[in-house]
Amino acid sequence: MEDDYDGEYRYDREPIGALQGLAPERVVYIGSASKILAPALRIGWVLSPACLIGDLTRAKLDADRGSPALDQLALAAFINSGHLDRHLRRTRLVYSRRRALLATALGTHLPKLPIRGVAAGLHLTLELPPGSDENTIVAEAGRRGLRVYGISVYRARPKIGPPALLLGYCRLSEKQIAEGAKALASVLESCQ
């Protein structure tokens, strides 16, 4: 099973080819328009080995009785016209710049904390000092108008691994990124 939800957003090199392309009769590939266009589209796709198509078709039908055809046709036209490729080229540049700005701002205001996830995706993770309470930090950040997420809720075993924050940057302006990193440093200082 290959879930390629942010494969279009690689910043340090070209997007890597899908594993499914190397073994199409052994790998189920799942993609989504959520990250590349809009979560509200609720459109995804599955490339499946031939032996699973019947089972997957039945499971999809049982799950929701089908997907909106008009939305799928509009997305297909958007892709076929080249608009998706242009959109991705433009947003890669925008998000790459925002990612670099956030990494620089965090390095300035929180220089001792490791930053992870800068090679791809639409967010970074900021590793917190050992013993930090993610929930306390998230709550305090929220009181100060910052939306950050503790990483433990995304782990299979929440107590395994260092405390960290998930920081999105796609919808932030350059000013918000700079001010947010400074404000986050203040939050962490008050929670230690």
Confidence of residue 149 (pLDDT cuts 50, 70, 90): very high
Q: Does residue 142 sit in helix, strand or coil? A: helix
pTM of the model: 0.82
Check residue 43 and give its pLDDT: 87
Residue 31: CB atoms within 10 A of its CB come to 20
Stretch among 37-41, 90-94, 98-102 having the lowest mean pLDDT: 37-41
What's phi and psi for 136, nearest 5 deg? -65, -45
38 in Cβ contact with 145 (< 8 Å) = no
Check residue 35 and give its pLDDT: 82
Strands in 2-3's sheet, in edge-to-edge order, are 2-3, 29-32, 44-47
Give 67-79 pLDDT, tens digit per residue: 888 999 999 999 9
User: Domain 93-191: which topology?
Assistant: Aspartate Aminotransferase, domain 1 (3.90.1150)
Check residue 148 and give its pLDDT: 96
Residue 15 has pLDDT above 70, yes or no: no
Check residue 173 and give its pLDDT: 93
- The pLDDT > 70 percentage for the chain reads 99
Residue written as tokens 């090679």?
119
What residues pair up with 167 in beta bridges, in sequence order?
124
Q: How far is CA 187 from CA 7, 9, 63, 132, 191, in A?
A: 32, 29, 43, 12, 6
Please, where in the chain does CATH 3.90.1150.10 lie?
93-191
Q: Across residues 91-117, what is the average pLDDT?
A: 94
With 0-12 / 13-18 / 19 or more C-beta atoms within 10 angstroms meaning exposed / middle / buried, residue 50 is: exposed
Residue written as tokens 């999809």?
60
Task: Give Cα 171 distance to the centre of its chain.
Answer: 12
71 in Cβ contact with 41 (< 8 Å) = yes
